[in-house]
């Protein structure tokens, strides 16, 4: 890994005070992005010419007193999200050479406030996977140990931040695709309440579950981008909050290392907040299966609505083709059943949070699996990577609740793990405020 980039707030201050130019900051980001490619392949495209032109404009604005709120700050944008004039392949060989004519809504908002897109960060094909592996372009690898996956599908964004190319970026989260790679790469990842950020200009995976999301080296980087997108911290929250602890989500247990990290973190949080286990018996029963069914059905609807089978079979990767082959067999009654199960789950989650302000649980039950590992074994449980990594994140996409992953303190010789905080719908600002405090508590030890 290379050095940690300047936090967005620090970079903004240095730019405003004239201690740093936007051109120098962007050149440093581009050099780090280039350097990362041979080792971890965090980027699908590096927008050198476009980024340097934008940096020159930022320097002009900084010199003339017309700087915008995010002036000159480099970011990465997931390859699933449209960027005007920059190739956007959606992680698929089928879309090589696709150059959008317009930015996605969330990109446009950030660019209009002065942020500079230095490149497109790698994604699993059409965001349909948790490893950010690609037979077409080369797999993205974990910056902490390239023998391991970075998580996905926003693995390129998490890897780009962890290796020091950028301090923050845009991702998407349908079942954990921001929070999982954040946890596995040791960065922060935020999925807001469903519908708070627009999905216009983002290639859909499962439209009723898709959430745009934000990643950052720290929570403050996410807060800065979130504020630019209209998600403020809101009013000051109570100093002591009630945190409902979920120790594990059946059937997937915790690795010993994750359990130990969580125990240490909860001991720290318990000094400031009331932490108590909530009764989650039966709460998550069937949630992962319901989520997986909806993704299969809606993924089929998206792709069969855009392309014929011959095109799919010839141009898509084998993993996606296999999933779409299975999607052809989904009946309308199956999809109706999964959506009904989803509607029953959200009220159950609301009732479980009746006596607490926020939930706290692991982001993932394990550290990053090895590259090309076909299954995960934790204790007596064995299952797919998808089930292992998404069981603790996907329920909050089903319900549309906001959630954020924060890195747990690093241990020598160990891969990163993450702590997840979950709030009620609409309480995005309160969740971010809590995340800042929790991050500080963990850092202070």
Closest by Cα among 376, 371, 441 to 408: 441
Each residue's pLDDT tens digit, 247-257: 999 999 999 99
Residues forming a β-bridge with 370: 148
Asked if pLDDT for residue 238 goes beyond 90, the answer is no
For the question of residue 78 being annotated catalytic, the response is yes
Among the options 78, 92, 191, 405, which is catalytic?
78
Give the percent of the chain with pLDDT over 90. Answer: 95
What average pLDDT does this structure show over 43-60?
98
**Confidence label for 403 from pLDDT (cuts 50, 70 and 90):** very high
Decide if pLDDT at 2 tops 60: no
Question: Is the pLDDT confidence value at 397 over 70?
Answer: yes
In a domain, residue 426? The reply is no
Q: Is residue 341 part of a domain?
A: no
DSSP H helical segments within 65-146, as ranges? 105-112
| Residues 295-310, mean pLDDT to the nearest whole number | 97
Query: Which pLDDT score is estimated for 234?
Result: 72
Confidence at residue 236, expressed as pLDDT on a 0 to 100 scale:
65
Which whole number is the average pLDDT over 113-137?
98
120 catalytic? Reply is: no
- Is the residue at 139 inside a domain? yes
Contact status, residue 356 vs residue 242, Cβ threshold 8 Å: yes
Collect contacts of 370-374 with beta carbons under 8 A, ≥24 apart.
370/147, 370/148, 370/149, 371/131, 371/133, 371/139, 371/141, 371/146, 371/147, 371/148, 371/149, 372/133, 373/149
Q: What is the mean pLDDT of residues 165-190?
A: 98
CATH at residue 194? 3.90.1300.10
Number of structural domains the chain divides into: 1
Q: Which of 21, 134, 139, 153 is catalytic?
A: 153
Q: Mean pLDDT across the chain, nearest whole number?
A: 96
pLDDT band at 66 (very low <50, low <70, confident <90, very high): very high
Is 256 a domain residue? no
Angle between the N-to-C axes of helices 332-352 and 287-306, in degrees from 0 to 180, rounded to the nearest 10: 140
Catalytic, out of 177, 191, 280, 405: 177
Q: How far is Cα 272 from Cα 262, in angstroms, rounded to an integer?
A: 16
Peptide bond into 153 cis (omega under 30): yes
- What pLDDT is stored for residue 3 in this prediction? 63
User: Tokens at residue 339, please?
Assistant: 């959506």
Q: How far apart are CA 372 and CA 377, in angstroms?
A: 14
Judge whether 371 lies within some domain: no
Q: Is 191 a catalytic residue?
A: no
Q: Angle at CA 50, nearest 5°, toward 45 and 51? A: 85
Q: Can you give the length of the chain in residues?
A: 445
What is the domain range of residue 171?
Answer: 8-228
- CA-CA distance, 317 to 335, in Å (whole number)? 25
User: Within a domain: residue 430?
Assistant: no
High-pLDDT (> 70) share of the chain, % = 98
* Mean pLDDT on 160-177: 98
Q: pLDDT (tens digit, 9 = 90+) per residue, 326-351?
A: 999 999 999 999 999 999 999 999 99
Q: Residue 374 — very low, low, confident or very high, per pLDDT cuts 50/70/90?
A: confident
pLDDT at 281 over 70: yes
> What token pair was written down for 88?
């956007």
Whether residue 99 has pLDDT greater than 90: yes
């Amino acid at each position: 890994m290379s050095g940690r980039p300047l936090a967005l707030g620090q970079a903004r201050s240095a730019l405003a005070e004239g201690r740093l130019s936007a051109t120098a900051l962007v050149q440093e980001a581009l050099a780090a992005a280039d350097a990362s490619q041979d080792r971890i392949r965090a980027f699908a495209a590096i927008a050198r010419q476009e980024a340097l032109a934008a940096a020159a404009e930022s320097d002009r604005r900084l010199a003339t007193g017309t700087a915008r709120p995010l002036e000159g700050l480099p970011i990465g944008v997931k390859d699933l999200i449209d960027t005007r004039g920059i190739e956007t392949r959606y992680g698929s060989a089928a879309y090589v050479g696709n150059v959008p004519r317009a930015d996605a809504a969330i990109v446009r908002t950030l660019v209009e406030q002065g942020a500079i897109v230095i490149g497109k960060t790698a994604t699993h094909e059409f965001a349909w996977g948790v490893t950010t592996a690609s037979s077409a372009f080369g797999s993205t690898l974990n910056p902490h140990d390239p023998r391991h996956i970075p998580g996905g599908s926003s693995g390129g964004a998490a890897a780009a931040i962890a290796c020091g190319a950028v301090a923050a970026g845009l991702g998407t989260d349908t079942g954990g695709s921001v929070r999982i790679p954040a946890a596995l790469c040791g960065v922060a990842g935020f999925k807001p309440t469903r519908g708070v950020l627009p999905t216009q200009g983002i290639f859909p995976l499962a439209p009723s579950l898709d959430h745009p999301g934000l990643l950052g080296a720290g929570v403050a980087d996410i807060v800065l981008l979130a504020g630019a997108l209209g998600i403020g911290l809101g009013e000051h929250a109570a100093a002591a909050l009630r945190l409902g602890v979920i120790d594990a989500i059946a059937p997937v247990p915790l690795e010993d290392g994750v359990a130990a990290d969580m125990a240490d973190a909860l001991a720290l949080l318990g000094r400031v907040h009331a932490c108590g286990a909530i009764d989650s018996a039966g709460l998550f029963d069937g949630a992962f299966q319901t989520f997986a069914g909806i993704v299969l059905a809606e993924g089929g609807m998206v792709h069969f609505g855009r392309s014929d089978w011959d095109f799919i079979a010839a141009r898509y990767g084998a993993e996606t083709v296999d999933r779409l082959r299975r999607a052809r067999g989904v009946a309308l009654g199956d999809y109706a059943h999964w959506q009904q199960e989803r509607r029953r789950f959200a009220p159950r989650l609301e009732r479980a949070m009746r006596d607490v302000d926020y939930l706290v649980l692991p982001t993932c039950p394990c550290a990053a699996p090895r590259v090309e590992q076909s299954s995960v074994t934790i204790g007596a449980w064995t299952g797919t990577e998808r089930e292992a990594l998404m069981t603790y994140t996907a329920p909050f996409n089903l319900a549309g609740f906001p959630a954020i992953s924060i890195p747990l303190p690093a241990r020598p010789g160990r891969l990163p793990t993450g702590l997840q905080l979950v709030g009620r719908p609409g309480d995005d600002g309160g969740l971010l405020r809590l995340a800042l405090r929790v991050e500080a508590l963990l850092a202070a030890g």
